[in-house]
Structure 1
Amino acid sequence: MYDGALNFREVAKLPTSDGKRRLRRGLLYRSGTPQLMPESSARRMVDELGIRLVVDLRQRQEAEREGQGGLARVEHRRLSAPFMVAAAKREGWEFPRFRDTDPLVPHYIAYLGSSTDAILAMFRALADPNAGPALLHCTAGKDRTGAAVMILLDAIGVQRSAVVADYVAGRDQIAAVFETLVALPSYGERIASMPHEAKNTEPDTAERFLSALDEHFGGIQTWLRDAGFGADELAALRDRLTEPVSESV
């Protein structure tokens, strides 16, 4: 669709658990790193989709080194909201390490233990009525972006089967994404060391992550409340990102 846009897709029309609302079209997009996008492609994306907010989930030093590609020369608001796990923060790793056994679910849960400020910043930016259409991205558009989108959708009441379906929707692109990233100096060695399971997006991973949110925190809404994201803020976010089914196209 857009040259150099890795693992790019819209997140839209997903139903809420009560069946009365669904995610609005034209407000939320997700992808991998934009650094390979030429300016012409980035400009076309922004012009055609109206993207005004870009939430960058990469580490700050990673984002500074890799850049935004052509997107840097197109007007938009960029929010740096780095997702990382506690061990990486504590021990100074730039990229978190995956466990050999069940690498993804504990990894995703760990984001909530050490990226509270980033998560709240992302939620508040998306709740802003002036935010406009938004693009969320990390590097592969799979793990940090995958976890971010799952907690966002779960928080506003999207049906969990739909949350899982969105997580796996880009699975046919993942191999090509990793083939592209492995050729880049910043990511080649890191990707080569990842266990095979960490390179996939399986429904079971998303299902167990959502269940783990309940087990560890009493659900993402409880986590948000305890982190200081108020009920009025959550309602505003839900109202902005969803619409009554009768109004949907």
Structure 2
Amino acid sequence: MDLTDRGPAADHPRHVIGADRLLDVPGVRNVRDVGGHTTTDGATVRTGLLHRSGRLTDLTPEGARVLGKLGVRTVVDLRDPAEIDRWPDRLYELDAVTAHHPLLPQDGEDHYGKPLDEAYRLLTDTAAATLPPLFTRLVAPGALPALVHCAVGRDRTGIVVAVLLSALGVADRDIVDDFLLSNLGLGVLDGPQEYEDANGVVRLTEAVGPELITGFLATVRARYGSPAALLADQGLGEAGLARLRELFLAPA
């Protein structure tokens, strides 16, 4: 994790779709631009507006300069307060505002040892409360360009990006490809890696398959109609959704 990383590992090809999208930001893992995808109606998701990554705890001064060149104004941190206390982000001279939007339930329970499928169900259950305020922040004047991250930039970050891309009209196959790119970005295609959770417990990060993000999207559609409807109906509003599309889409 992100949450726990004991999800089912799938067989992954050595050639990973979108591998050239991964960026070198010293001290940060799994960095890439969310833009560049084509929507089902031929529009293009603008690049340079939103990046995704793992936590910025080990960001170096050189890495902060790279983020500065990317124009990052807002850093959206999806982690729990306990994670932030244990591994605070470093920004150095980066002129950016940090916004905390925890996606896991803030109910005092220990969610870090849960199997990934259960963790994703929790994230789905809280999505109506957590995601619209986050997207409201992104469409606020001056918020973009932004960077969104969790611990390793895969699960919680992957959900935010999947909702954004789906709401913009990107096909599920491209959303899945973007999600699976984290396997390469985290270096887990050749085997699991150890990490320490916020309670000091050593766990394993393993490669994941598409079922986690496709299952999340399927549940959102069953409950709300679509990720776009989730955002619009639960707080962003139709005007906010229209603004999101205006900001992020370059017409065909």
TM range (shorter): 0.7 to 0.9
Q: How many Å separate the matches in 2 of 1:187 and 1:39?
A: 28
Task: Name which of 114, 126, 142 aligns with 1:98.
Answer: 114
Once the 2 structures are TM-superposed, how far is the Cα of residue 110 of structure 1 from its aligned partner? 2.4
Between the aligned residues of both structures, percent identity stands at 29
Task: Tell me the residue number matched to 1:195.
Answer: none
1:230 counterpart SS class: helix
Once the 2 structures are TM-superposed, how far is the Cα of residue 72 of structure 1 from its aligned partner? 4.9
Q: Quickly say closer, same or farther: Cα 1:64–1:117, change in 2 above 3 A.
A: farther
Q: Trace 1:17-56 onto structure 2 (pairs within 5 A).
A: 17-19=40-42, 21-42=43-64, 44-56=65-77
Q: How many Å separate the matches in 2 of 1:31 and 1:119?
A: 18
Once the 2 structures are TM-superposed, how far is the Cα of residue 124 of structure 1 from its aligned partner? 0.9
Amino acid at match of 2:239: D
| Aligned positions, number | 227
Once the 2 structures are TM-superposed, how far is the Cα of residue 222 of structure 1 from its aligned partner? 2.5
Q: Return the TM-score normalized by structure 2.
A: 0.80
Unaligned runs of 5+ in 2: 1-23
Q: Quickly say closer, same or farther: Cα 1:121–1:189, change in 2 above 3 A.
A: same
Q: In 2, are the aligned partners of 1:156 and 1:234 still within 8 Å (CA)?
A: no
Task: Name which of 198, 203, 208 aligns with 2:215.
Answer: 208
Amino acid at match of 2:96: H
Task: Tell me the residue number matched to 2:247.
Answer: 240
1:29 counterpart SS class: strand
1:221 aligns with 2:228: yes
- Alpha carbon RMSD of aligned pairs, Å? 2.4
Once the 2 structures are TM-superposed, how far is the Cα of residue 94 of structure 1 from its aligned partner? 4.8
2:109 counterpart SS class: coil
1:75 aligns with 2:95: yes
Once the 2 structures are TM-superposed, how far is the Cα of residue 176 of structure 1 from its aligned partner? 5.3
Q: Quickly say closer, same or farther: Cα 1:84–1:72, change in 2 above 3 A.
A: farther
Unaligned runs of 5+ in 1: 193-197
1:166 aligns with 2:188: no
Task: Tell me the residue number matched to 1:154.
Answer: 166
Greater fraction strand: 2
Q: How many Å separate the matches in 1 of 2:81 and 2:132?
A: 17
Q: How many Å separate the matches in 1 of 2:28 and 2:147?
A: 11
Q: In 1, are the aligned partners of 2:44 and 2:249 still within 8 Å (CA)?
A: yes
1:191 counterpart SS class: strand
Q: In 1, are the aligned partners of 2:44 and 2:250 still within 8 Å (CA)?
A: yes
Q: Quickly say closer, same or farther: Cα 1:73–1:47, change in 2 above 3 A.
A: closer
Task: Give a deviation string over 1:51-102, Cα, whole Å, max 9, x none.
Answer: 1111000012321221112x154220111000104xxx33x13544423xxx
Q: How many Å separate the matches in 2 of 1:210 and 1:150?
A: 8
Q: Quickly say closer, same or farther: Cα 1:75–1:158, change in 2 above 3 A.
A: same
Q: In 2, are the aligned partners of 1:33 and 1:139 still within 8 Å (CA)?
A: yes
Runs ≥4 residues deviating over 4 A: none
Amino acid at match of 2:224: F
Once the 2 structures are TM-superposed, how far is the Cα of residue 48 of structure 1 from its aligned partner? 1.4
